[in-house]
């Protein structure tokens, strides 16, 4: 599965991405804001990620930006199950932060999420990562009011994590003209 946005191309990881992936995600500042990614990030971790089978209802993508020298990996985003709920996660490599890539990638993934038929999506960010909370709010998430301790493999301990949610409207009728209607869109 591939998705094109205004500036980005979201695609699955391929075996030849392993070295670039290691370079792009291999920053303690990146992985310490993620729950499931270890630090240090090794070649084995990158290999496991690129070889992981895709679930068509919970896809994971590398976020790439086209350029004069070809597309470069700027981050990653995907869906997963967390505590029985569909969870959106993302990361952007430090050199590419501040350009709106996280917002654009998350918004693009949410369009797909809705088309896949998910009614509700949650996302979490560690409370010491306020920038991630701003991204979530920009793409339509709302705070649920829940803050819970979440373990971070990179940090090696649990930290307070704020939960956000987005609930897609259920269609009353598939005959209306709403092109974003998740059950009626082609």
The candidate with the shortest Cα–Cα distance to 11, out of 103, 100, 109, is: 109
Is residue 142 a contact partner of residue 165, using CB atoms and an 8 Å limit?
yes
Rounded-to-integer distance, Cα 171 and Cα 57, Å: 20
Residues 6+ apart with CB under 8 A from 185: 114, 115, 179
Helices within the chain (DSSP H only): 18-25, 28-31, 43-51, 101-115, 130-138
Q: State residue 171's pLDDT score.
A: 47
pTM for the whole structure: 0.89
The DSSP code sequence of 113-143 is HHHTT-SEEEEEEETT-HHHHHHHHHTT-EE
Per-residue pLDDT of the chain (186 residues; tens, 9 = 90+): 899 999 999 999 999 999 999 999 999 999 999 999 999 999 999 999 999 999 999 999 999 999 998 999 999 999 999 999 999 999 999 999 999 999 999 999 999 999 999 999 999 999 999 999 999 999 999 999 999 999 999 999 999 999 999 999 864 333 344 434 333 333
Structural domains of the chain, ranges and CATH numbers in brackets: 3-167 (3.40.630.30)
């Amino acid at each position: 599965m591939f998705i094109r946005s205004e500036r980005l191309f979201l695609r699955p990881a391929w075996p030849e991405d392993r070295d670039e992936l290691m370079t792009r995600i291999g920053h303690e500042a990146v992985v310490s804001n993620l729950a499931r990614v270890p630090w240090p990030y090794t070649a084995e971790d990158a290999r496991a990620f690129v070889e992981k089978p895709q679930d068509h209802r919970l896809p994971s993508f590398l976020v790439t930006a086209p350029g004069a020298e070809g597309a470069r990996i700027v981050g990653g985003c995907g869906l997963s199950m967390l505590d029985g709920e569909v969870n959106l996660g993302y990361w952007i490599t430090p050199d590419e932060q501040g350009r709106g890539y996280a917002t654009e990638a998350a918004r693009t993934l949410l369009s797909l999420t809705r088309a896949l038929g998910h009614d509700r999506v949650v996302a979490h960010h560690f409370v010491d990562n306020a920038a991630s909370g701003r991204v979530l709010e920009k793409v339509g998430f709302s705070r649920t009011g829940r803050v819970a301790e979440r373990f971070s493999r990179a940090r090696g301990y649990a930290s307070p994590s704020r939960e956000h949610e987005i609930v897609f409207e259920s269609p009353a009728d598939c005959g209306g003209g709403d092109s974003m209607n998740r059950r009626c869109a082609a």
